[in-house]
């Protein structure tokens, strides 16, 4: 029983989340980015509590329609939530079909349109991994390639000992390509960073060793990249967002788990109570066998309270 409760508690507390992105859509023409399978936290307005009527729509459909503190209709209510007090619309489990152009419209009590703000939402797959591969060249130069998996529209950048690579260190390539060649006398902590609008991941390492050509010739001391070292940059939360995620789907799942736990506990105590009453109140039948006649004799015993 304790094991079951422990597993349920882990399920209750350990709800996984995808990549979360933020967008301030209060400015007309805002460009928003969302992660495929992740969550978009979209700031539509300062507050909806005093707005007579508002709607958020794409070119063909009114997705969110509300009046003051009441949501009239939400086409994606199974994977979204809207908070009236701060005007934040959260959309979960983003897909490529969410990519497109949207608009927020606000009306007064006479039906006149007060605000029309456009937003564009672009859905991207996040970068999942990055790896460095190095190769010694004939004159002691080092060719380094940076490859990544996943990620739409990846952008590359390089640093050496925390500083952007310069032309004095590069024999070919530039700081924004995924393949570079470093000059012979260049060494240090080399970092390749791959990013798009919704993710950033870096590979880094510095292990000083000899640079040896495939034919066995020792060229020069060099830095070999430790491809298994990842340096992931932290993300920041905008100051307009409440850091506590008040997502309805998350709370619904947790509430369901708690409900199931309480039901299980209730059934357990009902079963225990029933067994206890049977032991105290009901006659116990004891069957013995007469050794001489081989006739079964039923002996009934009752509790001391009945005697």
Domains and CATH numbers, the chain: 16-123 (2.60.40.10), 127-231 (2.60.40.10), 257-301 (no CATH)
CA atoms within 13 A on the CB side of 183: 10
Cβ proximity of 222 and 209 under 8 Å: yes
Helices in the chain by DSSP H: which ranges? 2-13, 248-281
Contacts of 191 (CB under 8 A, 6+ apart): 158, 159, 160, 202, 203, 204, 231
What are the pLDDT digits (tens) for 151-163? Answer: 899 999 998 888 8
Chain-centroid distance, C-alpha 204: 24
Mean pLDDT of the chain: 75
User: In 37-79, at which residue ranges do the beta strands (DSSP E only) sit?
Assistant: 39-43, 53-57, 62-67, 70-74
The predicted structure's pLDDT at residue 292: 44
Token representation of residue 55: 């709607």
Phi and psi, residue 262, nearest 5°: -65, -40
| Calpha distance 107→57 (Å, rounded) | 14
Question: pLDDT of 93-146, one tens digit each?
Answer: 999 999 999 999 999 999 999 999 999 999 999 988 888 888 877 777 888 888
State whether residue 304 is helix, strand or coil.
helix
128/150 Cα distance (integer angstroms): 5
How do residues 181-237 score in pLDDT, each as one tens digit? 888 777 778 888 999 999 888 876 554 445 666 666 665 554 444 444 556 554 455
């Amino acid at each position: 029983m304790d094991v079951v409760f422990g597993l349920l508690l882990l399920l209750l507390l350990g709800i996984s989340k995808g990549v979360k992105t933020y967008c301030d859509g209060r400015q007309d023409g805002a460009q928003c980015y969302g992660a495929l399978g992740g969550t978009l936290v979209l700031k539509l307005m300062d507050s909806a509590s005093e707005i007579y009527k508002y709607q958020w729509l794409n070119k063909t459909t009114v997705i969110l329609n509300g009046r003051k503190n009441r949501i009239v209709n939400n086409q994606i209510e199974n994977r979204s939530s809207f908070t009236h007090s701060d005007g934040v619309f959260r959309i979960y489990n983003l897909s490529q079909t969410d990519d497109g152009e949207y608009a927020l419209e606000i009306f007064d009590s006479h039906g006149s349109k007060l605000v029309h703000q456009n937003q564009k939402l672009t859905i991207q797959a996040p970068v999942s991994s990055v790896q460095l591969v190095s190769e010694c060249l004939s004159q002691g130069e080092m060719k380094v390639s940076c490859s990544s998996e996943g990620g739409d529209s990846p952008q590359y950048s390089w640093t050496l000992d925390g500083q952007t690579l310069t032309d004095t260190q590069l024999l070919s390539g530039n700081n924004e390509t995924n393949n570079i060649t470093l000059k012979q006398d260049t060494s240090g902590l080399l970092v390749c960073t791959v990013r798009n609008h919704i993710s950033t991941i870096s590979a880094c390492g510095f292990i000083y060793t000899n640079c040896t050509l495939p034919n066995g010739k020792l060229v020069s001391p060099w830095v070999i990249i430790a491809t298994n070292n990842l340096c992931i940059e932290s993300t920041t939360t905008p100051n307009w967002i409440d850091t506590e995620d008040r997502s309805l789907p998350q709370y619904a799942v947790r509430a369901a788990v708690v409900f199931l736990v309480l039901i299980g506990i209730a059934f357990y105590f009902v079963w225990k109570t029933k067994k206890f009453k049977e032991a105290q109140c009901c006659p116990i039948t004891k069957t013995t066998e007469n050794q001489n006649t081989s006739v079964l004799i039923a002996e009934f015993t009752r509790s001391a309270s009945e005697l």
